[in-house]
């Protein structure tokens, strides 16, 4: 179990690889101002709750790190919201509560094996977030606060 932590800000543009290459869109957050939080928490896959003040609160599974498969030079914060949206929401305020850790960052021999693993991560997140010790955070006021 981890101590839940909160991060938020406007959704920024990433490299466009989430949805285009993987079929898995990730709403990127700026890491500016979060260097302390990020160095306290190991790179890897986490789960928790995501709030978009005008749209609601959704389950999310998130990668924090360098994405070894893509060889990124900078750490990124990339939550996949487990909900079907019919439009993008770049620029909107996104608030996250991270409540659990799934696994460390890993490299994969192929894009297929990476995608399979991310779908497993999603299953783990979906189920864990139904457990009261994790589900209770969906009511945290931070998720729906406008800023």
Choosing from 7, 28, 52, 118, the residue that interacts with Mg ion (CB under 5 A) is 28
Choose which of 18, 117, 142, 144 interacts with Mg ion (CB under 5 A): 18
Q: Which residues of this protein are in contact with ligand ADP, per CB under 6 A?
A: 11, 13-20, 25-28, 80-81, 83, 85, 88-90
Q: Name residues whose C-beta falls within 8 Å of residue 38's C-beta, 6 or more positions apart in sequence.
A: 31, 64, 75, 77
Radius of gyration of the CA atoms of the chain, in A = 14
Q: Is 78 a catalytic residue?
A: yes
CA 52, 65, 24: angle at the middle one, nearest 5? 55
Closer to Mg ion by Cβ: residue 19 or 107: 19
Contact 124, 101 (CB under 8 A): no
Q: Which of 74, 78, 84, 105 is catalytic?
A: 78
Footprint of Mg ion (CB under 5 A): 14, 18, 26, 28
Name the residues annotated as catalytic. Answer: 78
């Amino acid at each position: 179990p981890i101590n839940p932590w909160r991060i938020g800000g406007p959704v920024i543009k990433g490299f466009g690889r989430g949805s285009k290459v993987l079929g898995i869109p990730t709403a990127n957050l700026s890491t500016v101002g979060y260097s302390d939080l990020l160095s306290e928490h190991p790179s890897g896959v986490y789960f928790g709750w995501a709030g978009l003040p005008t749209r609601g609160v959704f389950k999310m599974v998130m990668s924090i790190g360098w994405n070894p498969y893509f060889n990124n030079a900078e750490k990124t914060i990339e939550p996949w919201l487990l909900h079907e949206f019919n439009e993008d929401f770049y620029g909107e305020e996104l608030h996250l509560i991270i409540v659990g850790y799934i696994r460390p960052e890993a490299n994969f021999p192929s894009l297929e094996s990476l995608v399979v693993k991310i779908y497993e991560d999603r299953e783990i997140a979906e189920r864990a977030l139904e457990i009261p010790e994790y589900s209770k955070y969906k009511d945290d006021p931070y998720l729906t606060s406008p800023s």
